[in-house]
Amino acid sequence: MAHVSPGHGLWHLRPASAVGSAETADSARIADALLNSVVGGSSGGSAATAPARHRARFHTLAVQDVRPLTQESIEVTFAVPEELADEFSYLAGQHVALRAQIDGREVRRSYSLCRPPARGSVSVAIKQDQGGRFSTWAQTALAPGGELDVMSPQGAFTSTLAALDGAHVAGVAAGSGITPLMALAATVLSRSDTSRFTLVYTNRRATDVMFLDDLADLKDRYPSRFVVHHVLTREQRSAPLLSGRIDEERLRGILDALVLPATVDEWFLCGPFELVQLCRDTLADIGVETAHVRYELFTTGEPGQEQPEAGRPVIVREDEPTRLIEFTLDGQSGSVETPVSADESILNAALRVRPDVPFACAGGVCGTCRARLVDGSVTMTENYALEQDELDRGYVLTCQSHPTSDRVAVDYDV
């Protein structure tokens, strides 16, 4: 999930009890850079309580179906046995991590769930990325009857609306960013007879459009309540507004002519950093409150940079200064020393002594590695997953947190 906002910088964090007025002011600045996503939405147009947050764990699931979406993407459906049904309950917009051994190396990737919540199965869409180890492997290796490790659903890219009756929800997606919006759109439309969903979906060419038939089915099922506007960057459409890359001028034209922001109750943005940030900035400029905008990135890091893998080897020499990292996981305590010179993340260090420490993307996006900082201080490099209230309570992303005190303690169980 590919770029870092200049405004993100570094977060210097201490336990919540140690945060004073300076940190409180700094938190307000941080809040605008975070993923403002929480849970909500249910049948009958009323709000529902999200599934209880549980420690993310991998379970081996059988591949039930593999469906081609485009030449470069597939939908993979996993069968969920009844004994794991509660573990895999989820809200539209959430994601799972997949784990595989590829060429003798463990590889994990996070993928959004693309179907409305249903007991007995979970489905994800996987688009082949250029040079992508997992996505390339998945196109040919996954087949019905096979098995794969799937982590229980996580994530907060979900609706906060107290009621869906009369609600207008809008989404902007690029490429595989359509995946969580498929689940969100179907859920919003099915749970109220008066809700509406407007989707702006951009791709290079018509052949790149994922879920083309499913989008048509939604339009047939909800002809007056679902609207999709396809924007193609490398093909000419009859409407000039829908032809070409979405820059600020085109975005403002689309919003003013086709979406009508004043009528929208909630926004969902999913795609590469540049598009998502453009949408956030433009919406803020026209007066849309940030609390009504949810966003999710499908890339992090610099363009062309390989997705990070946690667990790199670190050698601790006897004659160099170290820092002590203590952690609690599943009620058990562990500790590991990390060389100051290594600038090692808490996650990387913990994995050297506990291979089951939870993580997925290792890029600050999915939030799977979340833990509470109970002692010491850290610098958190990136954060696209934690909300402001989680920061205020002392939570950090351990894949992005680097100790700045001699001793640091985190708790994965709270």
The answer on 262 and 167 residing in a single domain is: yes
Please check whether residue 42 lies inside any domain of the structure.
Answer: no
Same domain, 284 and 357: no
**CATH code, domain with 246:** 3.40.50.80
Q: Which of 6-10, 82-86, 94-98, 325-329 has the lowest mean pLDDT?
A: 6-10
Q: pLDDT tier at 363 (50, 70, 90 boundaries)?
A: confident
Domain edge (last residue) among 121, 151, 181: 151
CA pair distance 413, 410, nearest whole angstrom: 9
Give just the sign of the alpha carbon dihedral 112, 114, 116, 122.
negative
- In this prediction, residue 43 has a pLDDT band, given cuts at 50, 70 and 90, of very low
DSSP string over 327-385: EEETTEEEEEEEEGGGT--HHHHHHTT-TT---SSSSSSS-TTEEEEEES-EEE---SS
Return the number of other C-beta atoms located less than 10 Å from residue 271's C-beta. Answer: 26
In-domain check, residue 298: no
Give me 411's structure tokens.
């708790």
Angle CA 18–22–26, to nearest 5: 105
The pLDDT of 99-114, averaged and rounded, is: 94
pLDDT of residue 317: 81
pLDDT, tens digit, 9 for 90 and up, residues 368-383: 899 999 999 999 998 8
165 and 279 part of one domain? yes
Q: Is residue 303 part of a domain?
A: no
Q: Are 298 and 271 in contact (CB under 8 A)?
A: yes
pLDDT at 287 over 80: yes
| Structure confidence at residue 389 (pLDDT) | 83
> What residues have CB less than 8 Å from 160, skipping those under 6 apart?
37, 38, 39, 40, 266, 294
Q: Is the pLDDT of residue 319 over 90?
A: no
Domain assignment present for residue 295? The answer is no
123-180 confidence digits (pLDDT tens): 999 999 888 899 999 999 999 999 999 999 998 899 999 999 999 999 999 999 999 9
Left if phi > 0, otherwise alpha if psi is -120 to 50, otherwise beta: which for 155? left
pLDDT of residue 207 exceeding 90, the answer is yes
Give the pLDDT of residue 379: 94
- Rounding to the nearest 10 degrees, give the CA dihedral for residues 68, 219, 161, 24: 50
Residue 348 CA to chain centroid, in angstroms?
Answer: 21
In this model, does residue 70 exceed pLDDT 90?
A: yes
In angstroms, rounded to a whole number, what is the distance separating the alpha carbons of residues 148 and 50? 26
Same domain, 144 and 185: no
Of the ranges 28-37, 51-60, 135-144, 306-315, the best mean pLDDT one: 135-144
Rounded distance between C-alpha atoms, residue 7 and residue 383, angstroms? 12
Comparison of pLDDT for 46 and 349, the residue scoring more: 349
Residue 2 resides in a domain: no
Domain of 142 in residue numbering reads as 58-151
* pLDDT of the residue at 10: 55
pLDDT value of residue 132: 87
| pLDDT category of residue 250 using cuts at 50, 70 and 90 | very high
| 131/163 same-domain check | no
Token couple for 206: 């018509």
**What is residue 15's predicted lDDT score, i.e. its pLDDT?**
63
Spell out the residues 6+ positions from residue 83 whose beta carbon is closer than 8 angstroms to its own. Answer: none
What's the number of domains the chain is made of?
3
**CB-based contact 135:126 (threshold 8 Å):** yes
Q: How much is the pLDDT for 388?
A: 82
CA distance 78 to 150: 9
Q: How confident is the model at residue 315 (pLDDT cuts 50, 70, 90)?
A: confident
CA-to-CA separations, 4 to 28, 128, 192, 262, 365, in angstroms, rounded:
19, 23, 38, 30, 11
> What is the tens place of the pLDDT at every residue in 292-314?
999 998 764 444 444 455 566 78
pLDDT score of 48 more than 50: no
Q: Distance between CA 372 and CA 408 in Å, rounded?
A: 11
